[in-house]
Amino acid sequence: MMLLETIQLAEKLADVSGDIICQSFRQPKLQAETKIEEVSSIVTLADQKAELAMVDLLSLEAPQDGIIREEGENISSESGLYWVLDPIDGTAAFAKGFPIFGTLIGLVDLNKNTTILGIVNQPILKERWLGVRGKTTRLNNQPLVNIYAKETKSQLKDACLTSTTPLMFITQRQKAIATKLQQVCKRTAFGGDCYNYVSLASGWSAMPMVILESDLKYYDFCALIPIIEGTGGIITDWSGKPLNEQSTEILAASNPVLHQQALAVIYNND
């Protein structure tokens, strides 16, 4: 499949899942449950239906590709390519009626650990980010400019540290690193899920951003990699290595200078 056709398929996945999500958003008594052994993580019927619609579409249009998914069983690949799906990243926000969640759609060559493209789709606000490896990230088909990307004198003391929840830092080591970065950075903000990452990529924040998260799954961040890299931001694991299917600890920054400073804090507290 050519790149243009692949992008068009990814857009179709965003469309079909978005339609289902819009039908369920802000509906009272929406069916939801807490995931087993994940106190802060919930799943709704909309998650499950949106994911199934994407899986059904892929089985028709890209049956040779595999699928890594949040809600159902993974499907093996014949092509070496995998679609990585998170139907609603930020289900807690969705369940509360807050439009700060997104559908994450990534396509990765697992053999090369190369994320080919990523989409974050917010169907309520009609915002769609598309990142393609080696290209400038686009929001609603317009190129994005991260104004902080080329800053060479950025300092952690002037940055906003963001994490979805303090509950994601589980081990004593993780808690110590998070606490130290919170002490160094100018501001700390919790909440946001995937919106933290697209805000960083879009340069929306009042100050440069550093995102520190742990206890994540591959579908939580795969699609975000080309979106952030496509605006000059940087996203790695806590040791500065490229993210892969086994990664759980994520560090992203508005520019490489901030990223290196955050890595130094992690190293000194590791």
Q: List Cα–Cα distances, 12 to 9, 70, 156, 163, in angstroms.
A: 5, 19, 40, 30
220 marked ligand binding residue: yes
229 marked ligand binding residue: no
Residue pair 109/6 in contact by the 8 Å Cβ criterion: no
70 marked ligand binding residue: yes
From CA 42, how far away is CA 63, in angstroms rounded? 30
The vertex-108 CA angle with 236 and 199, nearest 5°, equals 50
88 marked ligand binding residue: yes
237 marked ligand binding residue: no
**Which residues touch 76 (CB under 8 Å, ≥6 apart)?**
66
Amino acid letter, 81: L
Q: Give the residue ranges of the annotated binding site.
A: 70, 86, 88-89, 220
Residues making up the binding site for Mg(2+): 70, 86, 88-89, 220
